[in-house]
Amino acid sequence: MGTRYVYIPLLILLILIPAGRYYVSWSKSGSGAGLYSHEWQPEAIQGYWHPKAFYTSVKSIVGEYTGEECVSCHEAVTPGIVSDWRQSGHSQPANNQGKVYCSSCHGNDHQNLHLPTPEICGGCHTNQHDQFLDERRFGFPSHALAMERAIDAKHFVDKPKSEVTACLQCHSVASKCDSCHTRHRFSAAEARRPEACITCHSGPPHPDDATYFASAHGQRYLKDGDNWDWSKPLSKGNYEVPTCAYCHMSDGKHQVADKPIWKFGIKQVNPLSSGNEIKRQQWIALCSDCHEADWSADRLREMDAERKQAWAKLYEAEAILKSLRSDSLLHPAAGERPPYPNDWLDSLFPREHIGFLEGQASAFYNVSPIERDYFEMWYFDNLGAYKGAAHGASSFVEKGHAGMEQALSKIKAEAKTLRMLGESEQRKTGKRSAPGEHWLKGEYTEFNKEHN
């Protein structure tokens, strides 16, 4: 009798494991990419954002050509590209190495050309490519997993394509190297400058540009940076103040996820875990290129204190929302608004996403007003404060915490109103009024059902 309780679970596992593998494999086999590949069609521009998956060669020219022939033709067709190539290290290689022509990266069969992917670049730049891929072990967020993060998210296919277009422009850093080394010059000197990073690292969700330029480091860069020799490696003594790449890719290491302690500031962590203690020492060593080690350690402790204050505010807001949810006082509640189309569990068991959950990424829409207020507090004000603390911009710390306090006060006031209205409904009817079809219908909702 007892053996049954051992063999039955084992048998179930033996069935479920291959079934799960098959389902994941099938889910990625559609015309799109990622876990929802059967549910969306790629636009033409995605051939450039995700070239390995979607790029198709032009068919207007037939034949196979040498690198010299490519250059000869494209001097007339695309002279700017050839000009950039002539100024690149590919055209003027060091140590008497052979030139890297167009055909080395794109192939020589004009009807079957391809765009260079990280794997193709890694054929020569092995060390950088290996470092880039190794970044995956740190999980999200990271450059190496950025495209996966986008196309495997439920809201990627839930929302209209026009609303996720901008996301892929930056998340394509995982699928092509020219996000940082713009083609066809592929200049390391260009990639070392902050502008190479702030193309993507800007705006309310990640105000790295504003916080860096507001810092003493950024101010010094804005004043003197054009006069620095950017051909120098990212090593001690080569630059007067640090830049994005100097701190996050020290000595040119092609990883940006190996040192962050607070994981983007959107999730509370233990800053004194064994792993984070190692990262802390790495930061102190890096900052000690210019500062005293004790001074550097103090700045990290200040950031720890800022995060502790931030999460106290965020948890207070979460507790208010969770209390409203438990008393059925969120309007509209999860079951009264359209479920996320690709979340079958949400359709069967609707539940508000409060706090750090995967579903939080979808809080850009389909939530009640008070939930949206919390989302903006968590994702915008909180991140502004964190980035200010991380980059040494105290004005952003003050602004971010002032924003969180203001949002918390608003949430408290809204919660008080919801409770008052809820109690009034209870006294009058004995139950909360149901909104009916009001939130389930509408131009935006109906359009999405047909066009997503």
CA distance 82 to 184: 8
Residue spans of alpha helices (H) in 203-343: 208-214, 216-224, 244-248, 274-287, 293-326
> Would you place residue 19 in the very low, low, confident or very high pLDDT band (cuts 50, 70, 90)?
confident
Q: Quick one: pLDDT at residue 17?
A: 87
pLDDT in tens, 220-244: 999 999 999 999 999 999 999 999 9
Mean pLDDT value across residues 128-152:
92
Q: Quick one: pLDDT at residue 255?
A: 93
Q: What are the phi and psi torsion angles at 109 (to 5°)?
A: -90, 110
Q: Domain 297-451 class?
A: mainly alpha
pLDDT in tens, 322-352: 999 999 999 888 888 877 667 777 778 888 8
Give the three-class secondary structure for 64.
strand
Q: Which of 172, 169, 171 is nearest to 51 (CA)?
A: 172
pLDDT in tens, 243-277: 999 999 999 999 999 888 988 888 888 888 999 99
Bridge partners, 64 (sequence order):
109
Q: Quick one: pLDDT at residue 365?
A: 63
Domain residue ranges of the chain, discontinuous segments joined by +: 297-451
Q: Quick one: pLDDT at residue 448?
A: 61
pLDDT in tens, 440-449: 776 666 766 6
Mean pLDDT value across residues 304-310:
95
- Nearest 5°: the CA angle 244, 250, 253 is 110
Q: Quick one: pLDDT at residue 360?
A: 60
Q: Quick one: pLDDT at residue 204?
A: 85
Q: Quick one: pLDDT at residue 447?
A: 67
Global pTM reads: 0.89
> Would you place residue 367 in the very low, low, confident or very high pLDDT band (cuts 50, 70, 90)?
confident
Whether the per-residue pLDDT at 391 is higher than 80: the answer is yes
Cis check for the bond before 51: say yes or no (omega within 30 of 0): no
Share of the chain above pLDDT 90, in %: 60
Query: Over the range 304-314, which residues count as b (16 or more CB within 10 Å of their CB) and which as e?
Result: bebbeebbebb
Q: Quick one: pLDDT at residue 364?
A: 57
